[in-house]
Every structure is written in C-alpha cells, then in structure tokens.
Structure 1
C-alpha cells in the first residue's frame, strides 16, 4: 500500500506526528521527539490528543533503549478510526463505496445511472445516511465525475457523457450532508487509487490511461498527482494530428475531443468486425510514445471499461512505441478495475480531510 501524502507545514505539529506514526509503525514517543527535535512533554501532549481522537493506538512496550533505559510504549496508526465514502458517477452506474483508512471495503452498492443532478445527489445522500450508523465516524465524502473540475469552486465544468455543464454538485450534497465533501475528476481519482493500493503502489512515476466511454489520462510524478493549470492536466482526448488540421476538426464545448472520438470509434470497429486494427495500433502508439518521451514515466497503466480490448493488441503497440521512443517503460493493465475511481477519490478525501480535522478543527472528530 502506498502512503497518502498529508499536506502540512512545520506549524501543524499534530499532523506531523500523526504522519510520522503512520509511516513508522510501532514507534515510540522518544523516537518522535528525536525525529522532530520536540521535547518529551510536547510529544506526550500531541500523542495524547491523537489517542483521544482514536487516530492512534498503543501497541504495548517496545525494546529497551541502547543505554538500557525504560521501555517505551509503541504507537500505531489506527486505520479503523474513521471510514470514508467514495462515489463514482458515470453514465452507466453510480458506484458507492465505504472503506476504512486502509482502503478496505466495508460496504459497496452499485446503483443504476442517474443523470438528473438533484436525483443523483439524493442517491448519494441515501447511501451516506445508511452508512452514518457505522461504528467509525465518516471522515468525508469524495465524488468522482467524468469532467474537468474547478476545485476552487467545486464546479463540474463539462461532463459530456452525463450532460452536465457548470454544475455545483458539492452544493447539492451540502444541503443534506454536514461533513467535508470533495469533487474530483474520475481519471485523476482512478490514478490515485492505483497509486494507493493498485498497480502503481510501487512507483512514484507513472502515466494512467483510461479507456471507457471516453478517453482520459492522469500523471503521477514524485508520488503526487499533477493537476495542471486550471486542473486540466491529462486531457489526452484532445490530442491532435495532421489529419485533424486537414479536416478542420476543432474542439466544441460539450463534445468529445478528436483523438478520443477517433480511438473510441476504432475500438468499436475492432470489437465488432476485427477491422481497422492497424489504424488503432498506430494512433494509440503515437500518442503513448509522445507521452513517454515527454514525461519519462516508469510505467504506463491502462484502465477503464475498455482496457481489456486495448490490452489484446498491446504487443503490437509496444513494438511501435519502441520504434518511436528510445525511453524504456513498462505498460500494464490496471488492477482496481471498476472500483478504481471510487477507491481513488477516497484517498483524495483522506489527504484533504486530515488537515481539516487536525489543524483547522483542532483535532475534534467531525464524523457522525
């Protein structure tokens, strides 16, 4: 499991200590004091608050110190202290998942698609209310959507497959849900999921390509998602080539990009007639070769509903990529499948919400 990055500064001592305990299982108060140069009394006060909030648990006595001093009590991160809800909204389903802080699924419900904004929000509210009787308080809710998302205003800018434009989905949920709510792009969320507990857990540098109703991508660099200016990095569906210029293909608001439209069409032809395979291989190969040359990822991870179709011709794609780019990379299929976005948006919630709880709220649980 890849550790989620907590956003902290040196003044956020409680978050610093919690993150250290999470990264160093069965550590002592003395080790924490030494790591940060804190006094023993300061560490004791910080740990006491974390124990009160059930975020940390004591694990018994550790080893004696090198000087033969008294054994300290070991501390461990409590992955059951909170639960988190992740929701993946698509035009084929609304997948709702409840997990603990380690990503272990506690409850999962797949609902029929709901394209009406208010009705979709109500389905998520119903799931929240069902889960709110859970033993662990709910830390927050994350919703992934197939759209560029303005994170400063929580606006779903343009989701063609849902028919949503300029929708403040967070505001719809906030009418009924009092805990933190975060909206994130579906492909970004899927990449975060793979980085947390999937195929990307062992690397901090990978490119995630999603093939489904449309095409999207996300970039993980130095262990972090690259959002881009205006949170739009990874919009690979709008890649263009000379053919687009020749045919005067231009982007129109609310429409799929030209590369996206082309590849989805070729995939459909390949699936139904086993035709146009070479065209599909070349188009995808050129796109990935350019990405690999530009970003130098350790891996390219292929996910989404139609990833299996693309993996059928991956040997041919790899051959072309070796011709087009001198850089070496591993290309493999994602492991979380349909759960990737709902699990990934949970990791996004965890990263954002711990700062809210430990710093802004002073360590007060805000779940139930």
Structure 2
C-alpha cells in the first residue's frame, strides 16, 4: 500500500510517499511559486506511483467543510496569487484516490498525536503550535480535529502586551498585533532589523517573545485542557521554550494541576520536521479505510 503526503507550505512544498506503517519510501521538496506551476509539479511527482490514498496539509486559511462548494480551496490567504485556489480540484485532474484535506498545523498535530500513541504515551488530546514565518495551531481530541464551521486560527488570537513592547505595532496584515503579528519570524526584522537566527540568546526580545507564547499556551490549556502542547517551527529553540515554561508557570499561578512542564510544553518528537508528513500518511490511511 502506498499513501502520499503533501505538506503545502507558503515557502515550499514537501511531497512524500509512504506505507501504512508511516515509513517514508520517497520524498521531494520544491519552492512554492504560482498555484499552476506548484500544483503541476506536485501532480507530476505523484504520477510515478500507484497511490492508494493521499493526505494533504496546506497553509491557509482553507475551506474544510465538505458541504461547501469551495471545499478543497485555499481561501482568504495573504500568500500572493493563491487566494481562491481550488487545490484539491487541481490534484484530482490526475490523482483519483481518497484524499484527506486539512491545515498544515493540523497535519503536524495529527502526526505528533499518532507518534505519541505509537510510543504508548496514550494521549487523548494534543495541541500543536508552529511559530515560524507565520503562526498557527491545530488541536486533536480523541482522534478528531477541533473545529467544524472552520479550522482553528489560534495564531490570530490576541495577547496582553509586554510592558517593554508597547510601541511595536505588529506585522500581521490583518490584525497588527495578534499573536502572529508579535512572535512570528518576521517580527525580528521589524523590531530589530535583523533575522532571528542572528539575535543573541541573552537579548531581551526573547523574554518578550516567551511572554506572548506562554499566554497562547495558557489560553490553549484553559480552553481545551489538552494532554500536551507541542511547539514547532523555526523560531522555537530549546532555550526559548524554557523561557516559555518559566513565564507559563508565573501566569498559571498554580491554578490547575498539570504534568511537569518538561513533559507538557514540548518540542516535536517526530524528527526532521516530519510531523506533518507522518500525520498526512495517517490521515490518508484513515480516509482510505473510512
């Protein structure tokens, strides 16, 4: 059995083929350019294989309601040229197999959820945040995604401003200083004029970032009460995550009982940014056997 995976990011597409045991058999990546060019490359790649199913996790917003005439579309995205793209429709020109369709962060969340349970962690729920060029989050509860009218947009919630950061307007083109507008990768250049990877570990901006991310973790904790919150994406280093745990401890103030934060607020367990690929394999297989 062969299951395909498409991790459709705003910067690059990662396409892979694996088996029902979620083992990668082949993999390729290429830049995200125009919809026609990128989706043509995607279709050409999968023509090499006799797929049984396909899991697709895309940057968004996307339409996930199967009752909608725009199911399978990328909708109101800021990604240039991609607004109102019929993603699944273009794939089905040449790929006629059952397809699972969700957000990139949902795909990553599902991969982490599946891997944890394969490792006998026995999680009932999990939230996955990615903090990189953008910010998003997905949530899995009892094997199902949170959201029916649409997928969550937890990257666009609002947080209390840090007292040393009140003059920064934020970079989100829709909301200014929402979570994405305050902690995504481009905020380093907007605040400091340099890329995040060049900012020293002792720079106070990391404490500001940790304060905002800890608030997001607190919101997810108190609203969803997940078994674990995973933080992926290029902005989140082990050092930043430790600062987040410290800020989270202060904000929570022992209000509810949680596991040790070293086990509750964690980095991905799937190696090499492979959470979404593994999740897509699992979702494709689930769609095939539905």
1:84 aligns with 2:84: no
Aligned to 1:230: 149
Superposition pairs for residues 35-184 of structure 1, below 5 Å? 82-110=1-29, 112-132=30-50, 138-151=51-64, 152=66, 153-161=71-79, 163-184=81-102
- Contact 1:88–1:95 (CA under 8 A) maintained in structure 2: yes
> Counterparts of 2:118 and 2:228 in 1: how far apart (Å)?
8
Q: Which stretch shifts more, 287-296 or 116-125?
A: 287-296
Q: Structure 1 residues 182, 222: closer, same or farther in 2, change over 3 A? A: closer
- How far the C-alpha of 1:146 sits from its partner, in A, is 0.9
Which of 227, 237, 240 is residue 298 of structure 1 equivalent to? Answer: 227
CA RMSD of aligned residues (A): 2.8
> Counterparts of 1:193 and 1:114 in 2: how far apart (Å)?
22
> Counterparts of 1:92 and 1:243 in 2: how far apart (Å)?
29
Aligned to 2:283: 348
Secondary structure at 1:130 match in 2? coil
Which of 107, 129, 135 is residue 215 of structure 1 equivalent to? Answer: 135
TM-score by length of 1: 0.64
Which of 189, 201, 207 is residue 278 of structure 1 equivalent to? Answer: 207
Secondary structure at 1:338 match in 2? coil
Which structure has more helix as a fraction of its residues? Answer: 1
> Counterparts of 2:233 and 2:136 in 1: how far apart (Å)?
9
Higher relative contact order structure (alpha carbons within 8 Å, sequence separation ≥ 6): 2
Q: Structure 1 residues 242, 314: closer, same or farther in 2, change over 3 A? A: closer
Which of 103, 114, 123 is residue 196 of structure 1 equivalent to? Answer: 114
> Counterparts of 2:86 and 2:33 in 1: how far apart (Å)?
14
> Counterparts of 1:91 and 1:157 in 2: how far apart (Å)?
14
Secondary structure at 1:175 match in 2? coil
TM-score by length of 2: 0.80
Q: Structure 1 residues 90, 251: closer, same or farther in 2, change over 3 A? A: closer
- Contact 1:142–1:182 (CA under 8 A) maintained in structure 2: yes
> Counterparts of 1:83 and 1:89 in 2: how far apart (Å)?
19
- How far the C-alpha of 1:162 sits from its partner, in A, is 5.6
Secondary structure at 2:52 match in 1? strand
- How far the C-alpha of 1:313 sits from its partner, in A, is 2.2
Secondary structure at 1:184 match in 2? strand
- Contact 1:156–1:167 (CA under 8 A) maintained in structure 2: yes
Q: Structure 1 residues 335, 199: closer, same or farther in 2, change over 3 A? A: farther
> Counterparts of 2:41 and 2:171 in 1: how far apart (Å)?
37
> Counterparts of 1:143 and 1:162 in 2: how far apart (Å)?
20
Point out where structure 2 has 5 or more consecutive residues left out of the alignment.
Answer: none
